[in-house]
Amino acid sequence: MNVVEANDLGKRYGSTWALHECTLAVPEGHLTALVGPNGAGKTTLLNLAVGLTDPSSGTISVLGGRRAGSLAALDGIAFVAQNAPLYKNLSAADLLHETRNLNRRFDQGYAERRLGELGIPLRQKAGKMSGGQQAQVALTLALARRPKLLVLDEPLANLDPIAREDFMATVMAAVAEDGVSVVLSSHVLAELERVADYLVLVSHGNIQVAGEVEDLLAAHRMLIGPASESARYAQHWNVVHASSIASQVLLLVRYDASNPVPRGWEARSVTLEELTLAYLRESGAAVLPGPARGSGADPSEVTR
């Protein structure tokens, strides 16, 4: 089952397209990292997925074909928006009460136990909580709805390292213990490298890269060699991004095992952060098919 599926999806605000001709299939059971520069269309894509806005073109569905925004879809999705917005004058107990009354399914016992474990008093007003506590309350309200898909839009942006660690520990527990699929938008690449097993990279309103992290990393290598030979050998490799340090050049390439590494050059595996930054720096990055589009193609193959 695909928890998010888009076909030729587009969203226009006036004459500006925030998303254009996006095709994507995210399978269930993953913690998906949604990354991209500011203004790339990440929040627009998440808002479309949870039904906060309608497409200008194309289609988007969730949870195995349910129309995004439909009652059937909303019943299985929980959403934590950027900055974890809460009613500041309401206590944690009030927020639990209101959320329970607004949802068909809400696990009050789970929510109260979790806030107790976090040391967040039920009588404490949201406006008196720290940023980390507010994020945890918002996450608790979302998880207590027992969703199949948890959508998180930049939840880590304003958290200190300890609060960030605690927040992600809860998300990972929900994935491991309850089988929740997660789509997480974030700029914190180091954190994503540790937790994400699926990647969707958005740039200029299009899906640039999508697929299982393990497959994407296996399909790329970093080649390191003499800068004087870069022009000679770059043409033999499908280069994503090139950079140089002193007399050496670094080529992040799409790996082809049949294409031998030149003598005097070093080939090493790449990290998720290196891969992501390389595609973000290249405005004309190619789209990787295969897991990203549900085609079953080899992720080392590339189409434009």
Segment among 9-23, 52-66, 82-96, 273-287 with least mean pLDDT: 273-287
Instruction: Using a pLDDT cut of 90, give the percent of the chain over it.
Output: 62
pLDDT (0 to 100) of residue 294: 36
Whether the predicted pLDDT of 291 surpasses 80: no
- DSSP E strand boundaries for 116-265: 149-153, 181-185, 198-203, 206-212, 220-226, 238-245, 248-254
Closest CA to 56 of 102, 117, 125, 10: 10
Instruction: Using a pLDDT cut of 70, give the percent of the chain over it.
Output: 92
Closest CA to 38 of 290, 288, 285, 280: 280
pLDDT confidence bin for 290, thresholds 50/70/90? very low
Q: What is the mean pLDDT of residues 124-133?
A: 92
* CA pair distance 166, 139, nearest whole angstrom: 11
Pair type for strands 181-185 and 149-153: parallel
pLDDT confidence bin for 296, thresholds 50/70/90? very low
Which tens digits make up the pLDDT trace of 140-175?
A: 999 999 999 999 998 877 788 888 888 899 999 999
pLDDT confidence bin for 232, thresholds 50/70/90? confident
pLDDT (0 to 100) of residue 283: 52
Report domain 2-204's class: alpha beta
On the CB side of 203, how many CA atoms lie within 13 Å of its CA? 18
Which tens digits make up the pLDDT trace of 175-230?
A: 998 999 999 998 888 888 889 999 999 988 999 899 999 999 999 999 998 888 77
Whether the predicted pLDDT of 295 surpasses 60: no
Q: What is the mean pLDDT of residues 56-81?
A: 94
Whether the predicted pLDDT of 17 surpasses 70: yes
Give the domain ranges of the chain.
2-204, 219-292
Residues 148, 3: contact at Cβ < 8 Å?
yes
The highest-confidence range among 22-26, 101-105, 165-169, by mean pLDDT, is: 22-26
* CA pair distance 261, 153, nearest whole angstrom: 41
Which tens digits make up the pLDDT trace of 30-46?
A: 999 999 988 889 999 99
Determine which helix (DSSP H) or strand (DSSP E) holds 255, and give its type and residue range: none
Q: What is the mean pLDDT of residues 234-258?
A: 85
* CA pair distance 122, 151, nearest whole angstrom: 25
**Chain centroid to CA 62:** 15
* CA pair distance 61, 11, nearest whole angstrom: 15
